[in-house]
Amino acid sequence: MKNFALIAIMALTTYLVRMIPFVTLRQKLTNPFIKSLLFYMPYAILSAMTFPAIIYSTGDIISALTGTIVGLLLGFFERSLIEISLATSITALMAWFISA
């Protein structure tokens, strides 16, 4: 019975989060600030969740920062995702071996 109550609470919470914008925002959004805020919010939230995990992923901040810098540079130069992930992993591993 306790599991059913927990599932019901989670279902209600999920439903409310999805329903409230439909009920409150009946007309089309025209404010450019609100539109840009809603456009960039998922990227900001994903970055805020991912960046601390990147920094503490290797257990050594120096190796994590070197991998992050390489990843940012390769992303800036529009390399493919496979290249970026391989280069950052190899760079962080090499920096970890050097610092250990």
Is residue 23 domain-resident? no
Domain with 39 in it:
31-99
How many domains are contained in the chain?
Answer: 1
On whether residue 18 sits in a domain, the answer given is no
Per-residue pLDDT for 100 more than 80? no
Q: What is the pLDDT of residue 86?
A: 96
Does residue 76 belong to any structural domain of this protein?
yes
Inside any domain, residue 61: yes
- Residue 51 in domain: yes
- Tens digit of pLDDT for each residue in 51-94? 899 888 888 899 999 999 999 999 999 999 999 999 999 999 99
Asked if residue 17 is part of any domain, the answer here is no
Q: What sign does the dihedral 71-74-76-78 (CA atoms) show?
A: negative
Q: Rounded CA gap, 70 and 76, in Å?
A: 10
- For residue 5, being part of any structural domain is answered with no
The helix or strand, by DSSP H or E, that contains position 33, with its residue range, turns out to be helix 32-55
In a domain, 54, yes or no: yes
- The whole-model pTM stands at 0.60
Distance (Å, whole) CA 96 – CA 82: 21
